[in-house]
């Protein structure tokens, strides 16, 4: 969020009655509206940077997720959104995000909220010494994990991961990782 904004101030692109319209972010989740999103996977070879969501997040607090995921604001280009949120959440700047494709999913995220997202997926190639500056309102921790180890963790303790990370790894890994996973 930008200075002075609250969660309900953010207008995201969502489909209402078959038309793309600006809708308050929380309202889109309460109504389970299909809406636009971006997801970013920062990779160092077979290692992925994952984040643990801050405890103050309004859904899925404290769960592990992919590097960065968010909703573009109304009329915000996806690539601009990716750069903005990488910097706002993790302090990551000066990287090139590569577009990988689009996925759609629907997931209950608790508290009567539903993520029904049409997601533009991006991958950033980096090194594990990538400088980070975590925004404690967004992220409580990060770690690098090998994709095969992540699959094992997801199988053993799925409850500590966000629904969307479980979906990405189970259904969309070829799109995201190509042959490396």
Q: Which active-site residues does the annotation give?
A: 69, 117
How many C-beta atoms surround the C-beta of residue 20 within 10 A?
14
Contact (CB, 8 A) for 158 and 166: yes
Among 90, 78, 98, CA closest to 176: 98
Give the Cα separation of 86 and 62 in Å (integer): 19
Number of residues that this document lists for the chain = 181
Is there a contact between 101 and 122 (Cβ–Cβ < 8 Å)? no
How many C-beta neighbours within 10 Å does residue 66 have? 22
* Chain CA centroid to CA 123, Å: 12
Q: What are phi and psi of 156, to 5 degrees?
A: -80, -40
- CA R_g for the chain: 15
């Amino acid at each position: 969020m930008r200075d002075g904004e609250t969660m309900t101030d953010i207008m995201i692109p969502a489909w209402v009655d078959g038309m793309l319209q600006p809708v308050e972010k929380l309202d889109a989740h309460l109504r389970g509206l299909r809406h636009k999103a971006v997801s970013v996977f920062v990779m160092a070879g077979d290692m992925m940077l994952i984040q643990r969501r801050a405890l103050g997040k309004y859904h899925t607090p404290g769960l592990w997720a992919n590097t960065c995921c968010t909703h573009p604001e109304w009329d915000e280009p996806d690539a601009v959104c990716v750069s903005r949120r990488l910097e706002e959440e993790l302090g990551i700047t000066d990287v090139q995000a590569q577009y990988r494709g689009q996925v759609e999913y629907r997931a209950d995220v608790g508290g009567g909220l539903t993520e029904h997202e049409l997601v533009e997926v991006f991958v950033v190639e980096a090194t594990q010494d990538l400088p980070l500056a975590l925004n404690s309102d967004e992220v409580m921790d990060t770690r690098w994990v090998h994709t095969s180890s992540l699959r094992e963790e997801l199988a053993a303790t799925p409850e500590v991961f966000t629904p969307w990370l479980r979906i990405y790894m189970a259904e969309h890994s070829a799109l995201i990782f190509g042959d490396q996973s």
